[in-house]
A and B are shown apart, each in its own frame.
Chain A
Amino acid sequence: MQEIATPKPPRVNYLNAEYGLKSWLLTKDHKRIALLYLGAISFFFFIGSLYAMAIRLELLTPQGDLMQSSTYNKTFTQHGIIMVFFFLIPSIPATLGNFLIPMMIGAKDLAFPRINLLSWYIYMLGGIITIYALLAGGVDTGWTFYVPYSTTFSNSYVIATGVGIFINGFSSILTGLNFIVTVHTMRAPGMTWFRLPLFVWSHYATALIMILGTPVIAITILLVAFERIAHIGIFDPAIGGDPVLFQHLFWFYSHPAVYIMVLPAMGVVSELIANFSRKNVFGYKFVAFSSLAIAVFGFLVWGHHMFVASQSVYAGMIFSFLSFAVAIPSAIKVFNWTATLYKGSISYDTPMLYGLGFIGLFTIGGLTGMFLASIATDVHLSDTYFIVAHFHYIMVGGALLAYLGGLHYWWPKISGRMYPEGWGRFSALVVFVGFNLTFSPQFVLGYMGMPRRYHTYPADLVSWQVLHVLSTAGASILGVGLMIPLIYLLWSMRYGRIADANPWGLPGLEWQTSSPPPTENFLTTPVVTTDAYEFASPEHKSVVGRFERQTPVEI
């Protein structure tokens, strides 16, 4: 019994198999590539957060006293571009997805290891070009690049930024392609589709969107560049174009892109909720298929961004209806996660705190989307702070919380070390409080009529400034809450307690190999005989030792 309980970590693992910069920059190991991504997106997240702090500081007072309008416009534009294209879209798929999908399905690597490395280089190239554009003078079009402002009127670095995003898109496409082929062809013996962890299902759905959606934004950016350089008349009405066409093309990708951000987060949360309550996910198939439903419906709702953009009323009506329809699969997930907790054995480790926080914040984010799918309320709310609050509840309250939860959860596997549990729980609480204080006042501000992307606001509206001050106070707390994990995770890489192979005592395949895993993930190919999240199958019962968990470390 003891022999299988905790396999002794082999001396050679993926981190120490090879040394030197070259061994990292030329690696084909999905785990190392995931770490390359982790470093890069953390950098971009840091840059994006600095812009966010600048925005919040400026809005403390109604006057524009911190920076000039043109600087402010660049600040929010670059905050959006960095966070959306260089943090949120790659965040979970390129790090956790990259690291875990092969391990979860019992494979040695992704189907195309070289393409995987290539996708990181493409991402970096796109990132460097974008950073160049920011340093050279920045871009002020908003991350949405609406024409004709971006094509004719803006004299900022639109094309350089566009090139950065265009190139970056290919990294997304290649990652998606890799995931799809891997899930189809590399599953271990016995790993049937309905035994896949829900993390894999949600990444599969995400990959479909990446492949089908990203080319459209690439084409759109190209058209903007052509129009800007050669005035070919796609979008400019003076030469026969249509500015609203740009919005159709842009949102055809950018709405599904929201699901690129949130579907992987949903996958992480399914893992967290099931594993930390030691229960199989309630309604596994409903949760799995709801991911696919979201991926498909997500392509049919772009017009709800354009209810006031001179779109036909009947088109608006149809998009409104479809937008309500896409909410249902998300609701199904929330109910199933909640039901999973029923009669479980729930622990309050840091990842679970993030997971439970996600459900609450995602529920608010999703339900406030109802105000925007309903046309009459959207007419009043569109382009106000209500929108800003809503999508931050989805992207920060949803995607970022799930990312942090997942990072903590798999940290022992990734680094071979435990993070300090007490600090982990503390920072999860700080993030939750800071986040809500930042963004809940913005719902009220939005209904009051405060437009987004405003450098200044009227001083005669007292409640506006009060709400902005609350929001900035919350952002400061959130900033502290995010600094704490950065510090202790870096600290734990060297000083954290050595992690067992299976510190949480879980049945997932990724936990059945050493921490950190060897380069080939598994020394022998695993054979799968049970469903995902089977804690109490007869064979597992015979090895109760497997469910012993490492006692949390306190510092």
Chain B
Amino acid sequence: MQSSFPIVPESASTFSGDVDALYFYISGITIFFTTLIGLVIIFFAIRYRRRNAYEIPRPIEGSTKLETLWSVIPFLIALSFFVWGTKVYFEQYRPPKNALEIYVVGKQWMWKFQHPTGQREINELHIPVGRKIKLIMTTEDVIHDLFVPAFRTKVDVVPGKYTMEWFEATKPGRYHFFCAEYCGMNHSGMGGWVEVMEPKDFDNWLSGNLSQVSPATAGRGMFESLGCVSCHGANAEGGRGPALLGVYGSNVVLSGGQTVTADEAYIRESIINPQAKIVNGFGPIMPSFQGQVSEEQLLQLVAYVKSLSTAKPETRTAKPPGLGPAQSANPVGSPK
């Protein structure tokens, strides 16, 4: 329950409680030491006030014992903040498996979201309660930051990169989200609502937006229209360019002998700046698609390549990525 004058935002994600606990612990220590030092200063100031103009107190040199004491104790306390803070952060950071992946593109001054089943939203994000949500985010212009106070999390959205933010909402409701990295004129208007819904309400919401094309399907369309098929093959089975089937998540051996894990960032880079990493056994012949595709289209291409790792090789059109069995039975995401 929120009081009428809350001093802590609503707590609505699996780690907001952990962050609050640490916040209250550091607050307690802060209040304790501030009060302690304040009281000692006031006590000394009164107890040792100057009583006559000529008094010269006896000098005191200092004490190595005391110095050690008041170096070691604060250090140990700081260490406890460090260990606790890092532990909670690592749990927050580690991307969960089988999360619902939602693509996010920030631009001056709006947030665009696209669900794996194709639904698009602007400045609103509908998510189901109790399900891990992973946002894969980038921006078309400057740096932004997606900040959901009720979830106690924020991550910058950086041009030329994919950043990842995840959370699991614990109670249905409407929660503010903000852009937390200054981005120009209408920065303070670049926010909206996260609408956390019961799973069945969420399913209803999804099916109410049937006409959408999933990002992976849209990506498949671009794969053809941009002519990627001529080298990577009509079914991405490979040709002059490497095969893309099953590439996502695998280890790719490069021409220099190094190995990289093919994640979203790698796929993005291979489209925008193909010469950066050449797959072993192939020539550096691919042109850059920089400027020809928007960040949203890039995300769709990435979604398509990702779908090739979950789809059966013979299916021409791909299933949307990141859907659990319950959702994949749902006809919403399947094209045609």
Contact = CB atoms under 8 A, between A and B. Distances in A.
Interface of A: 64, 69-70, 73, 140, 142, 144, 146, 148-149, 152-154, 237-238, 240, 242-244, 277-280, 282-286, 307-310, 313, 316-317, 320-321, 324-325, 327-328, 331-332, 334-336, 338-339, 341-348, 356, 359-360, 363-364, 367-368, 370-371, 373-380, 382-384, 444, 447-449, 451-458, 461-463, 466, 505, 533-536, 541, 544, 547-549
Given A282-B60, A346-B44, A346-B50, A447 B8 contact: yes
B interface bracket (residues with beta carbon within 8 Å of A): 35 or more
B43 to A, nearest CB: 9
A309 B61 CA distance: 46
Choose among A144, A348, A367 the residue with the greatest number of B CB atoms under 10 Å from its CB: A367
A146 B41 contact: no
A383 B70 contact: no
B70 A356 contact: no
A279 B57 contact: yes
B149 to A, nearest CB: 3
A454 B89 contact: no
A279 B59 contact: yes
A149 B183 contact: yes
A377 B160 contact: no
A336 B41 CA distance: 12
A380 B67 contact: no
A280 B23 contact: no
B138 to A, nearest CB: 10
B243 to A, nearest CB: 28
B319 to A, nearest CB: 30
Contacts of A140: 184-185
Contact of A331 (B49, B71, B145): B71
Contacts of B150: 449
Interface in B3-57: 5-9, 15, 18-19, 22-23, 26, 29-30, 33-34, 37-38, 40-41, 44-45, 48-51, 53-57
Interface of B: 5-9, 15, 18-19, 22-23, 26, 29-30, 33-34, 37-38, 40-41, 44-45, 48-51, 53-63, 66-67, 70-71, 74-75, 78-79, 81-82, 84-90, 92-93, 108, 141-143, 145, 147, 149-150, 152-156, 158-161, 163, 176, 178-189, 191, 273, 290-291
A375 to B, nearest CB: 4
A544 B54 contact: yes
B186 A374 contact: no
B80 to A, nearest CB: 10
A371 B180 contact: no
A375 B85 contact: yes
Contact of A456 (B56, B74, B188, B290): B188
A367 to B, nearest CB: 4
Nearest to B108: A153
25 contacts: A64-B188, A69-B187, A69-B189, A149-B182, A244-B158, A282-B63, A283-B66, A307-B89, A310-B156, A328-B78, A342-B44, A345-B57, A364-B34, A370-B81, A373-B85, A374-B81, A375-B89, A376-B18, A379-B152, A383-B180, A449-B147, A449-B176, A449-B178, A454-B188, A548-B53
Contacts, number: 297
Given A153-B141, A313-B90, A341-B48, A376 B19 contact: yes
A448 B187 contact: no
Choose among A240, A283, A377, A548 the residue with the greatest number of B CB atoms under 10 Å from its CB: A377
Contact of A380 (B19, B78, B143): B19
Contacts of B185: 69-70, 73, 140
B259 to A, nearest CB: 19
A535 B92 contact: no
A339 B87 CA distance: 36
Given A308-B154, A317-B86, A331 B74 contact: yes
B7 A447 contact: yes
Choose among B33, B74, B291 the residue with the greatest number of A CB atoms under 10 Å from its CB: B74
A505 B184 CA distance: 55
Given A73-B187, A316-B89, A455-B187, A379 B153 contact: yes
A353 B128 CA distance: 56
Nearest to A339: B66
Contacts of B159: 148, 237-238, 243
A144 B48 CA distance: 46
Nearest to B27: A371
Contacts of A280: 59-61
A279 B74 CA distance: 25
B184 A370 contact: no
A377 B19 contact: yes
Contact of A345 (B6, B50, B71, B188): B50
B48 A338 contact: no
Contacts of B188: 64, 69, 451, 453-457
A384 B19 CA distance: 16
Contacts of A321: 82
A374 B82 contact: yes
B154 A444 contact: no
A382 B145 CA distance: 10
Contacts of B158: 243-244, 309-310
B9 A447 contact: yes
Contacts of B290: 238
A458 B9 CA distance: 14
Given A149-B142, A343-B48, A456-B189, A308 B156 contact: yes
B50 A242 contact: no
A320 B7 contact: no
Contacts of B30: 364, 367-368, 370-371
A356 B41 contact: yes
A73 B109 CA distance: 15
Contact of A377 (B6, B9, B22): B22
B182 A146 contact: yes
A448 B82 contact: no
Given A370-B26, A466-B5, A376 B44 contact: no
Nearest to A458: B176
Nearest to A69: B185
A451 B22 CA distance: 21
A73 B8 contact: no
Choose among A368, A449, A541 the residue with the greatest number of B CB atoms under 10 Å from its CB: A449
Given A286-B67, A328-B75, A368-B30, A536 B85 contact: no
A377 B48 CA distance: 40
A444 B149 CA distance: 13
A277 B74 contact: no
Given A148-B142, A359-B41, A347 B50 contact: yes
Given A364-B34, A380-B19, A69 B186 contact: yes
Contacts of A146: 142-143, 181-182
A463 B56 contact: no
A284 B62 CA distance: 8
Given A341-B44, A345-B50, A377-B26, 15 more contacts: A73-B185, A148-B141, A278-B50, A282-B60, A283-B62, A308-B154, A310-B161, A331-B74, A336-B62, A338-B41, A339-B60, A368-B30, A383-B145, A456-B188, A463-B6
Contacts of B182: 73, 142, 144, 146, 149, 383, 452-453
Given A376-B22, A380-B153, A324 B82 contact: yes
